[in-house]
Amino acid sequence: MASLQDRKSLDTDEKTRSRDEEKDAYDVTVSVAESNEGDEALKLVGRERTAQFSEEYNKKLRRKLDMIIPPLCAAVYFTQFLDKTSLNYASIMGFPIVGQQYNLVSLAFYLGFLVWEFPTVYISQKLRVGKYLGANIVIWGIILMCHAAASSFGAFFALRFLLGMCESCVAPILILIISMFYKKDEQGTRVSWFYVMGLTQVFGGFVAYGISFYDGNAIASYKIVYLLLGGLAILVGICVILWLPDSPVHARVLTTEERIAALERVRDDQGGTENKHLKKDQIIEALLDIRTWLIVLTTMMTSIPNGGLSNFSNKIIKSFGYTSRQTLILSTPGGAVASLTTLLCGWYSDKKNERMIPIVFCLIPTIVGSAMLIGLNNSGNKGALLFATYLIGTFGSALSSVYAYNASNTSGHTKKNTINAITLVAFSVGNVVGTEIFQPKDAPAYIPGKIAIMVLLTVQLFISVLLRWINLRMNKQKKAQLEAEKAKNGWTDEDVQRERERHAFMDLTDKQNPFFVYTA
């Protein structure tokens, strides 16, 4: 009887060992995927590459992604920037709030943005990011339409504050989605595709110009702008909920094979996809990383001018001696210049594997344009002054490069979210300050504001060069450490590649992962 029990026990032990060996051989992802440590990608792929896809297959997959993700991201950002700058159009179309109260209403958007940035980013980490984004867009569309019913300073201030809260999730989520689906040498271009905010200036200018011909008494012209843009936002939000993929793991628009291919395509970049668990150590690392605060300075230096110009550019053009209707149409070429600069900088960024040099390229024309506006003030030379305002539009692509920088140079899902949130907080603070550099007492020339823009962007040139130098130095250090580790363990090149693959989806930060390479 005892021997029978012993045999049963032995059989059980052998079966257990056999199952364990089989699990180790065929399901290397289980322990990591089921823990809080690993990446969501491990639900579909192993820690080591087990599936190979041809270059032709990957190109076909990238084309499919390009037909879905960048157009939807562009629609979101297009809608957001239109909504954010709707106040700029309303300001010369009978908007009832003027003077310092106008400045405060403009500021309210960024206060809402600032207050809600960290909560919205960490909430989105727990949820499906595409669905969360879409829901926020629908809500802000409704809020925007409510502007047509408001008439007092308090009502406009409250609505702009809520609008800022809803729109604060946009950039972090779009950066995250681009980093999940695209390789590092593709991210700059894709970010530039959705960041062509200058097109909103062209589109919005022509729409507002058309509305300006309305002379009926049933509804004020600026209210029509809010109703149209609010309706557009609701439509875009519904499209995002239906079609924007949350991650490669949950992309319903892809087959299972395509999802695996999408993950394997970005494996060697070591950026990972997502992890639903908030990691305290990654938050601390983000806060202690010197590059985080240099990015904060970079964002501030470019956002202060943005806060002023996005709300006062039409007033500046009108001060040259143009009518309100002429101002609306004359503002549109500036948007075309901004869009072209963004696309060129994005292309160069991926082509040369650079992130900071494109920022330098786009800031120089803005510095020159600011100097022209100051030097030619009261000259009566409308053409030169108008040309200067178009030159100023080039600086907008700097933030696009910052987004691409964050996508390419940060790993670890919580760290990514933290740095993106900090970047957008800096963006918000910069825009709040920016609304105040154009004071009513300085109208119509706003010389102090123009001087501030020139000085801030000149400082930014040096910050960009410093960030680039730090990343290059860190890459040299990582390379030396990897060579030492290779010699110590006697690794072959194949061993190094296997280790690189095993690290890709462990949700490690860029500093924790020895195989992570920074983009300058």
pLDDT at 198: 63
How many other C-beta atoms are found inside a 10 Å radius of the C-beta of residue 380?
9
Counting every residue, how long is the chain? 520
Q: What is the CA radius of gyration of the chain?
A: 26
d(CA 202, CA 78): 11
* Nearest alpha-carbon partner for 409 in 179, 126, 196: 179
Q: What is the pTM of this model?
A: 0.82
Q: Quick one: 151 exposed, middle or buried, by C-beta within 10 A (0-12, 13-18, 19+)?
A: exposed
Q: Where are the alpha helices (DSSP H) in 268-356?
A: 280-288, 290-318, 324-330, 332-351
Residues 6+ apart with CB under 8 A from 288: none
Identity of the amino acid at 497: Q
d(CA 409, CA 398): 16
HSE, CB side, 13 Å, CA atoms: give it for residue 153: 10
Give helix then strand counts, H and E, for the chain: 22, 0
pLDDT at 472: 96
How many other C-beta atoms are found inside a 10 Å radius of the C-beta of residue 172?
27
Token duo for residue 449:
């504001």
CB 432 within 8 A of CB 110: yes
Q: Is the peptide bond before 514 cis (omega within 30 degrees of 0)?
A: no
DSSP secondary-structure letter at 277? S
Question: Concatenated DSSP letters for 407-426?
Answer: HHH--SHHHHHHHHHHHHHH
Question: Concatenated DSSP letters for 144-158?
Answer: HHHGGG--SHHHHHH
DSSP secondary-structure letter at 40? G
pLDDT at 27: 36
d(CA 507, CA 514): 13
Q: Specify whether the backbone of 412 is left (phi greater than 0), alpha (psi in -120 to 50) or beta.
A: left
d(CA 507, CA 173): 18
pLDDT at 28: 34
Q: Quick one: 357 exposed, middle or buried, by C-beta within 10 A (0-12, 13-18, 19+)?
A: middle
Question: Concatenated DSSP letters for 98-110?
Answer: -HHHHHHHHHHHH
Largest CA distance in the chain: 110
Q: Quick one: 482 exposed, middle or buried, by C-beta within 10 A (0-12, 13-18, 19+)?
A: middle
Sign, Cα dihedral of 242, 244, 249, 255: positive
Residues 6+ apart with CB under 8 A from 384: 372, 376
Neighbour-count burial for 306-322, b at 16+ CB within 10 Å, e otherwise:
bbbbbbbbbbbbbbbeb
d(CA 167, CA 427): 13
Provide the CA 295 distance to its chain's centre, in angstroms.
Answer: 13
d(CA 445, CA 434): 16
* Nearest alpha-carbon partner for 129 in 170, 166, 163: 170
Identity of the amino acid at 455: V
* Nearest alpha-carbon partner for 193 in 342, 338, 32: 342
CA distances from 139 to 194, 214, 234, 239, 252 (A): 21, 28, 8, 14, 24
pLDDT in tens for each of the 520 residues of the chain? 444 444 434 344 444 444 344 333 333 333 333 445 677 878 888 777 777 889 999 999 999 999 999 999 999 988 888 877 778 778 777 888 888 888 888 888 888 988 999 999 999 989 999 999 999 999 999 999 999 999 899 999 999 999 999 999 998 999 999 999 999 999 999 999 888 766 776 777 777 778 777 777 778 888 888 999 899 999 999 999 999 999 999 899 999 999 999 999 988 888 778 888 889 999 999 999 999 999 999 999 998 988 777 767 877 888 888 888 888 788 888 888 888 999 999 999 999 999 999 999 999 999 999 999 999 888 888 889 999 989 988 888 898 999 999 999 999 989 999 999 999 999 888 888 887 888 888 888 888 888 998 999 999 999 999 999 999 999 999 999 989 988 888 888 888 888 888 888 888 999 999 899 999 8
Residues 6+ apart with CB under 8 A from 302: 363, 395, 398, 399, 402, 430, 456, 457, 460
